[in-house]
């Protein structure tokens, strides 16, 4: 596992993180690890855009859409 050390954390940010960790009954280290992990696993807008573009366009015609709509109405 890697090691990350963050220096020069503003006092108000440090205090807020400590309060949030305590409210959840966890250590500051565990709380920060969870938040950093969540941030790293959440794709950026650019990453999402790249994924969407990589999928390509759907080949659905207007007729296909209308047929599906009408089939739903017929039950």
**What is the per-residue pLDDT across 15-72, written as a single tens digit (0 to 9) for each?**
999 999 999 999 999 999 999 999 999 999 999 999 999 998 888 999 999 999 999 8
- Please state, as a whole number, how many other Cβ atoms lie within 10 Å of the Cβ of residue 26: 14
Residue 75 has pLDDT above 70, yes or no: no
Token pair of 72 as six digits: 């739903």
Between CA 5 and CA 9 the distance in angstroms is 10
């Amino acid at each position: 596992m890697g090691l990350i050390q963050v220096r020069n954390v503003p006092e108000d940010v440090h205090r807020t993180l400590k309060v949030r960790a305590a409210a959840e009954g966890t250590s500051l280290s565990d709380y920060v690890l969870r938040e950093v992990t969540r941030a790293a696993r959440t794709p950026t807008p650019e990453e999402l855009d790249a994924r969407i573009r990589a999928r390509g366009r759907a080949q659905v015609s207007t007729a296909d859409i209308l047929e599906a709509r009408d089939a739903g109405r017929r039950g």
